[in-house]
Amino acid sequence: MDKMRLETSDIREKNVELIGKLFPCCVTEYRTEGDKVNKKIDFDALRRILGEDISEDDEKYEFTWVGKKRAFMEACSPTRSTLRPELDRSIDWDTTENLFIEGDNLTVLKLLQESYLGAIQMIYIDPPYNTGEDFIYSDNYRIDSREYEEMIGIRDESENRLFKNTNSNGRFHSDWCSMIYSRLLLARNLLADEGVIFISLDDNEQANMRKICDEVFGESNFIAQCVRKRRDSQANLSKNISPIHEYVFIYSKRNGDILNKVRASIDENEYRNPDDDPRGPYKTMPCTNKGGSVYTVVTPTGKEITEEWRFKQETYYALLADNRLVFPKGGDGKPRYKLFLSEKMEEGQLANTWLDNLASNQEATRELKAIFGDRVIFDTPKPLGLLKFCLELATKKDSIILDFFAGSCSTAHAVMQLNSEDGGNRKYIMVQIDEACDEKSDAFKKGYHTISQIGLARIKAVSDQMKKAGDKIDLGVRVFRADDSNMKDIYYSPSDMDQSLLPLLESNIKEDRSDLDLLFGCLLDWGLPLTMRHMSECIDGYTIHTYNNGDLIACFDEDIPDSIFKMIAKRQPLRAVFRDSCFRNSPDKINVVELFKVVSPDTRVKVM
């Protein structure tokens, strides 16, 4: 019986496997400690296969910084962390398809790699701008020596994961680049083939962000670097010039026509219907066009006009037959075609890179005050207008949207609001580290001790408000918290073993973990989405967990009798999971394997 891995995949091993399928001769073996045989790429052989001279000069065009290799290695390395469900903090747990995950986003992105690989249609992030006052993540790859960390005060006595990246830090830009690089590498894997990522940023790191995104997503997949007005008024306290703009970077997973058209900005007063056309109001546009087709038309008064026309001759006569042409000057003038308001609205228009008509950050603050009262409890919210604009550009009505710098959860709010407006069923995944609020802040005084508490409170407030208004969309959210492994880390050498340690070895699962903790840990390991329905039932005193009508059935009770194993096998689930203590002894475990082979041969059975 196979053991659950309970560890995310090693992305480096997967990449070696992919290259090996294309070029088997470029994969070689090597031995590691413990005499284990691993595989790696023979880069000299790979370069020969690709027709490159291995003696070629190493100089090349690239963007690099101190810590880049370590950032890449950290992104690829597996984690044994897990996600623990928190039903008491959730809304409509049984029916919702939305997720809020509290935890370090690097860890969470790794945990989502199997369950949401290629499933995310849109990512929006508003990462730290690196102004010298922002807190950024203190990841494992930051610096080479622990002594250097302690010397410059990167970590405090409590090993906090965030630190203020001041201008005096010798790695001011490098730390930020490493932080965002590792996360974007993982985020790209989650994007669907036609997926799009939007990134808000200001001038501090925009140049570096462009180079990093070119590398991660591909320069050919750059769509735009939009400029948006973030302030309605300028501040005269700035040096030399008042910055009132910031950027929205847009990259796609693959090149092509990816984005939707947006609602056309139309002055409806320009559209009239003087001849009571059943298709409604219209305005007229000239049929002539320099460089167009040359032919002669006859007006209703019999006047012949030879011109360069916008349409081919057959198209012109089709428009005439469909009552789409108007002849001014009493029927004696050059024809003009009807542009109907209804068709213009339906067609939409391409978005452009100048986003001056979207709500400012000051509007975002007013939106937040409308929810939490007059005090400012979050300093840098993004306006709903910006988020809805991105959603309309990049999503369908059933898309999944990810924001792994969720902050006050403006993205979740925008998803709910747009679903309410167009009847969509978009789902969101919000990820926010439990960053502490300043004890002197208004947020702390109002009882919000972490940023994640603010974000979740906003989701709940908006959900309550929309339910009262009668909305029937999905207004719930499943809440999870990233935590260390469900399994005990017990490492003892034979010389350290004595009778007192035997109770610790009776179970390999931590005492504080519930059945649901174990169930969702298995879902992550098997790559199942976290939002499907599940049920728990008690049969003869044993608890059986069924996920999505049999995608997975699990039982974690001790000393399960044969009758329970037989009942589960007869239900023929796709997957079945048990823990070691479910079996009284090794022969029982062998018997269960044989039982499933006979009764449900297609079921994959694992033990944790």
Average pLDDT score over residue span 554-578: 96
Q: What is the pLDDT of residue 344?
A: 87
C-alpha span between 311 and 319 (Å, rounded): 10
Q: What is the pLDDT of residue 234?
A: 75
C-alpha span between 65 and 177 (Å, rounded): 8
Helix 451-468 / helix 410-422 crossing angle, nearest 10 deg? 20
pLDDT per residue as tens digits for the range 492-547: 444 454 555 445 445 789 999 999 999 999 999 999 999 999 999 999 999 999 99
Residue 146 has pLDDT above 50, yes or no: no
Q: What is the pLDDT of residue 498?
A: 54
* Better pLDDT: 309 or 147: 309
Domains of the chain by residue range: 9-60, 90-262+351-483, 268-347, 509-607
Q: What is the pLDDT of residue 140?
A: 57
Average pLDDT score over residue span 58-78: 87
Q: Please, which pLDDT band fits residue 237 given cuts at 50, 70 and 90?
A: confident
> In this prediction, what percent of the chain has a pLDDT beyond 70?
90
Residue 196 has pLDDT above 60, yes or no: yes
DSSP state of 240: S
Q: What is the pLDDT of residue 150?
A: 42
Residue 144 has pLDDT above 60, yes or no: no
Q: What is the pLDDT of residue 47?
A: 79
Which residues pair with residue 226 across a beta bridge?
248
Q: Are 118 and 399 in contact (CB under 8 A)?
A: no
Residue 104 has pLDDT above 70, yes or no: yes
138-146 LR contacts (CB < 8 Å, sep 24+): 138/162, 138/163, 139/71, 139/74, 139/106, 139/178, 139/179, 139/182, 140/70, 140/74, 141/67, 141/70, 141/71, 141/73, 141/74, 141/178, 141/182, 142/67, 142/70, 142/171, 142/175, 142/178, 143/67, 143/171
Residue 590 has pLDDT above 60, yes or no: yes
Topology of domain 509-607, per CATH?
Answer: Creatine Amidinohydrolase; Chain A, domain 1 (3.40.350)
C-alpha span between 574 and 596 (Å, rounded): 11
* Better pLDDT: 254 or 60: 254
Residue 549 has pLDDT above 70, yes or no: yes
Q: What separation in angstroms does the CA of 475 have from each of 42, 96, 323, 568? A: 52, 7, 47, 34
Q: Please, which pLDDT band fits residue 560 given cuts at 50, 70 and 90?
A: very high
The class (CATH top level) of 90-262+351-483 is: alpha beta
Q: What is the pLDDT of residue 37?
A: 65
Burial, 24: exposed, middle or buried (Cβ in 10 Å; 0-12, 13-18, 19+)?
Answer: exposed
What is the secondary structure of 88-132 as a DSSP string? GG-BSTTT---EEEES-HHHHHHHTTTTTTTTEEEEEE-----SS
Q: What is the pLDDT of residue 32?
A: 65
Q: What is the pLDDT of residue 500?
A: 53
Average pLDDT score over residue span 459-465: 97
Q: What is the pLDDT of residue 356?
A: 86
pLDDT per residue as tens digits for the range 367-422: 999 999 877 788 888 999 999 999 999 999 999 999 999 999 999 999 999 999 99
Residue 564 has pLDDT above 50, yes or no: yes
C-alpha span between 450 and 452 (Å, rounded): 5
488: its two tokens: 């005990």
Tokens 């960390």: give the residue: 149
Q: Are 452 and 433 in contact (CB under 8 A)?
A: yes
Q: What separation in angstroms does the CA of 405 have from each of 50, 102, 125, 443, 499? A: 39, 11, 6, 18, 48
Residue 142 has pLDDT above 50, yes or no: no
pLDDT per residue as tens digits for the range 468-485: 999 999 999 999 999 999
pLDDT per residue as tens digits for the range 107-129: 999 999 999 999 999 999 999 98
Q: Please, which pLDDT band fits residue 36 given cuts at 50, 70 and 90?
A: low
Q: What is the pLDDT of residue 285?
A: 96
**Which segment of 168-177, 247-256, 347-356, 410-419 scores lowest on mean pLDDT?**
168-177
Q: What is the pLDDT of residue 143?
A: 42
Residue 448 has pLDDT above 70, yes or no: yes
C-alpha span between 113 and 262 (Å, rounded): 31
Residue 151 has pLDDT above 50, yes or no: no
Which residues pair with residue 39 across a beta bridge?
29
C-alpha span between 202 and 228 (Å, rounded): 10
**Which segment of 256-270, 423-437, 556-570 scores lowest on mean pLDDT?**
256-270
Q: Are 70 and 141 in contact (CB under 8 A)?
A: yes
Q: What is the 3-state secondary structure (H, E, C) of 349-409?
A: ECCCCEECCCCCHHHHHHHHHHHHCCCCCCCCCCCHHHHHHHHHHHCCCCCEEEECCCCCC
Q: What is the pLDDT of residue 339?
A: 95
Identify the top-confidence range among 186-190, 226-230, 375-379. Answer: 186-190
Residue 167 has pLDDT above 80, yes or no: no
Q: What is the pLDDT of residue 375?
A: 75
Across the chain, mean pLDDT equals 88
Q: What is the pLDDT of residue 164?
A: 73
